[in-house]
Copies of this chain bind each other. A is one copy, B any other.
Amino acid sequence: MKALAGLALAAALSMAAATALATADCVTCHRDKTPAAVAQWQASAHGKGGIGCADCHGKDHARIDQDLGRVEPKVCGECHAKALKTHESSRHGMGLHSGWGCTRALEGRSPVECRFCHEAGSTAPKGGLQCARFLKQSSSMAESGCNACHRVETSCASCHSNHNTSLAIVRDPNVCAKCHMGPDHPQWEMWQTSQHGTLHASVGAQTGPGCQRCHLGAGSHNVSTGITTTSGNEPLPDKEAKARRAAMLAVCAQCHAPAFAQRELARGDAIRAESLALVKEAEKIVWDLADHGLLDPMPAARPPHPQRGHELVTDSQMLYEDTSHIERLFFKMKKYDLAKTVKGAYHQNPAYTHWYGNAELKMDLVDIRAEASRLRARGAATAQTPEVRLRALKSQLERGALAPDEYQREKQKVLDGLAR
Contact = CB atoms under 8 A, between A and B. Distances in A.
Interface string A174-205: 11011101111000100001110111011100
A288 interface: no
Given A138-B270, A359-B320, A198 B175 contact: yes
Interface stretch (A12-20, A365-373, A390-398): A365-373
A351 B181 CA distance: 7
B296 A373 contact: yes
A3 B126 CA distance: 65
A350 B255 contact: no
Contact of A161 (B40, B179, B207): B207
- Count copies of this chain in the complex: 3
The binding surface of chain A is classed by DSSP as helix
A259 B184 CA distance: 32
Contacts of A40: 206-207, 255
Contacts of A367: 325, 328
Contact of A353 (B65, B145, B268): B145
A34 to B, nearest CB: 6
A100 interface: no
A21 B116 CA distance: 62
A337 to B, nearest CB: 12
Interface in A117-164: 137-141, 143-146, 148-149, 161-164
A254 B149 contact: no
Contacts of A146: 350, 354
